[in-house]
Amino acid sequence: MTSRPQNLVVTGAGSGIGQAVCQLAEAAGIKVFGIDRDALGLAETQERTGASIAVCDVTDEAALIRAIDSAVDYFVGPPDALVAAAGVYRIAPAQEISAQAFADLLAINVVGAFVSAREVATRNTEGGSIVLIASMAYEGGDTNEPAAHYTASKGAIVSLTRQLAVEWADRGIRVNAVSPGVIHTPMLRLVDDPVKAAAYLESGVPLRRFGAASEVAAACMFLLSESASYITGVILPVDGGATIS
């Protein structure tokens, strides 16, 4: 690997962490191919960064494979890096979550990440780096924002990261994950209640503020880089200290 990846695929590129990764990568001179089901958000990312894009739902395996094939055409070769940031956050008490709703969320957050990683790794013969997006939610339960399906999905991402890191190490492909805390993105629900948000930051986050998508993106870029060349299978918290408070 060089000091930075040359060709990067980003899923969930239309907003939040995925869009922030695209912006940092393009600023660093990396060619970026963005994937998202949100056509408007993806068009905004393209306008801001110049990235090539494909509108695609990551739960549609055939469409996702075609999108990554388009990335290969755009790069004139295989991507050497992936940030799989496509994901959703839904809140519901466990007894109100249907089997279909549970499966639908896992299809986006876990299966979509897996297929993205598999397809990038399949095309890559010279090593590379993959970053998945976990969450501090996998560390424990939460009665204020119950989300059994989301929490399970992020626990699965942690296990998937470690398994893929072991399987693909002999091919020179590193697989890591970042584990964001309360990050100010469109998915954040805590800001719906300013009083509750202030109380949480005061008691639950040592740095006493929300994180920014750009800060999570910076952690992703570190894990993609040569500076992290001896790091694989790691879950890197980006949470203002929340998981140690």
Instruction: Report the CATH number that the domain containing residue 162 is assigned in CATH.
Output: 3.40.50.720
Q: How far apart are the first and last CA of the chain?
A: 37
The answer as to whether 2 is a domain residue is: no
Question: Residue 77 burial by CB count (10 A; 0-12/13-18/19+): exposed, middle or buried?
Answer: middle
What is d(CA 165, CA 175) in angstroms, rounded to the nearest whole number?
A: 5
Residues contacting residue 161 through CB under 8 Å, at least 6 positions apart: 132, 134, 175, 176, 177, 233, 235
pLDDT of residue 244: 87
Residues 6+ apart with CB under 8 A from 184: 191, 210, 211, 212, 213
Give the residues of the chain that fall short of pLDDT 50.
Answer: 1-2
Range of the domain at 212: 7-235
Q: Residue 213: what pLDDT?
A: 96
What is the per-residue pLDDT for 189? 55
- pLDDT confidence of residue 1: 39
* From 89, 138, 150, 230, active-site residue: 150
Specify if 1 maps to a domain: no
Q: Examine residue 243 and state whether it is found in any structural domain, yes or no.
A: no
Is residue 245 a part of any domain in this protein? no
Give the pLDDT score at 196: 76
Is residue 230 annotated as a catalytic residue, yes or no?
Answer: no
Indicate the pTM of the whole model: 0.93
In whole angstroms, what is the distance from residue 201 CA to residue 41 CA? 29
Indicate the number of domains in the chain.
1
Does 244 map to a domain?
Answer: no
In a domain, 176, yes or no: yes
Average pLDDT of the chain?
93
For residue 180, is it within any domain? yes
User: Within a domain: residue 87?
Assistant: yes
User: For position 144, what pLDDT does the model report?
Assistant: 78
Per the CB < 8 A criterion, the answer to whether 68 and 116 are in contact is yes
Q: Is 215 exposed, middle or buried (0-12, 13-18, 19+ CB in 10 A)?
A: middle
Q: If DSSP codes are grouped into helix, strand and coil, which group holds residue 117?
A: helix
